[in-house]
Amino acid sequence: MSIFDSIGGAPAVSVAVDKFYGRVLSDPQLAHYFYGVSDIDKLKAHQRAFIAAAIGGPDLYRGRDMAAAHAKLGITDPDFDAVVGHLVATLTELEVPNEIIANIGSALAPLRSDIVSVTAP
């Protein structure tokens, strides 16, 4: 059974992403990053990236594109941790097995160096 199936297929993934975005946008540490984004395609791409993560490890390009997409945002390590934390909390709330959540966390971890551009003091 794939991770996608084990968390309940497409309806579960769409509920997970809605809940996840609800958490991110109501977190004062993170909401400001998204207020300024007027390009719906970019937000959709963000959403798809997290869907991909939720269904078993992001099928994501790394490197220049990912770094370029986030470079001007000035994202710190604690911001990255907070976003991943919201994904983990969402999946925990939806009773996704811990082992699967751990796999998702491991799949996202290597993206940190592309996405974080500011070293917190």
Query: Which amino acid, 33?
Result: Y
Q: Does 111 bind ligand HEM (CB under 6 A)?
A: yes
Q: Write b or e for each residue in 101-119: b if 16 or more Cβ atoms lie within 10 A of its Cβ, otherwise e.
A: beebeebbeebeebbbeee
Q: Which of 14, 22, 31, 42 binds ligand HEM (CB under 6 A)?
A: 42
Q: Which of 58, 86, 90, 91 binds ligand HEM (CB under 6 A)?
A: 58
Question: Looking at 3, 12, 49, 96, which residue binds ligand HEM (CB under 6 A)?
Answer: 49
φ, ψ at 47 (rounded to 5°): -60, -45
- Closest CB 98 distance from ligand HEM, rounded Å: 19
Binding-site residue total for ligand HEM (CB under 6 A)? Answer: 22
- Which residues on adjacent β-strands are paired with residue 76? 118
Scanning 7-15, 92-100, 107-115 for contacts with ligand HEM by CB under 6 A, the matching segment is 107-115
Q: Are 108 and 60 in contact (CB under 8 A)?
A: no
